[in-house]
């Protein structure tokens, strides 16, 4: 009988599932955004979830907003964003915390 071992970022998923997810980002095919939350609030929320230190959150958000040309959309609620801007936001969220790899659905 063979025992299957799965490692994600060097972590055994059976014994260290939390650490496995910590090195992974995920960008879903259908944007998982909240309609009444702004673009910037999404980045703030997910930065906290991904464990980014509080003093690094604003510089991190500024980096993504500048590099993906999202500054003019920062205060827009996600229901008002174009499809392309929603995709950019979803991708930025998946990159928060500098994951080793990102699953693109």
Overall residue count recorded for the chain in this entry: 105
> The dihedral of CA 73, 74, 80, 84: what is its sign?
positive
4 falls within a domain? no
pLDDT digits (tens, 9 = 90+) for 28-64: 888 889 999 999 999 999 999 999 999 999 999 999 9
- Asked if residue 87 belongs to a domain, the reply is yes
Find how far residue 50's CA is from the centre of its chain: 8
Q: Is there a domain that residue 5 lies in?
A: no
Q: What is the DSSP string of 8-41?
A: ETTEETTT-HHHHHHTEEEE-SS----TTSBHHH
Q: Sign of the CA dihedral 30, 18, 9, 99? A: positive
Q: How many domains does the chain have?
A: 1
Look at residue 70 and tell me whether its pLDDT is greater than 80.
yes
Q: Residue 54 belongs to what domain range?
A: 30-99
Model's pTM, two decimal places? 0.84
């Amino acid at each position: 009988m063979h025992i299957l071992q799965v490692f994600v970022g060097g972590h055994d998923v059976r014994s260290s599932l939390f650490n496995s997810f910590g090195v992974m980002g995920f960008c879903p095919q259908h944007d998982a955004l909240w309609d009444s939350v702004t673009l910037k609030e999404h980045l703030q929320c997910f930065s906290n979830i991904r464990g980014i230190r509080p003093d690094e959150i604003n510089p991190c958000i500024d980096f993504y907003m500048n590099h993906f040309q999202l500054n003019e959309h920062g205060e827009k609620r996600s229901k008002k964003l174009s499809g392309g801007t929603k995709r950019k936001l979803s991708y930025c969220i998946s990159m928060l915390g500098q994951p080793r790899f990102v699953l693109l659905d």
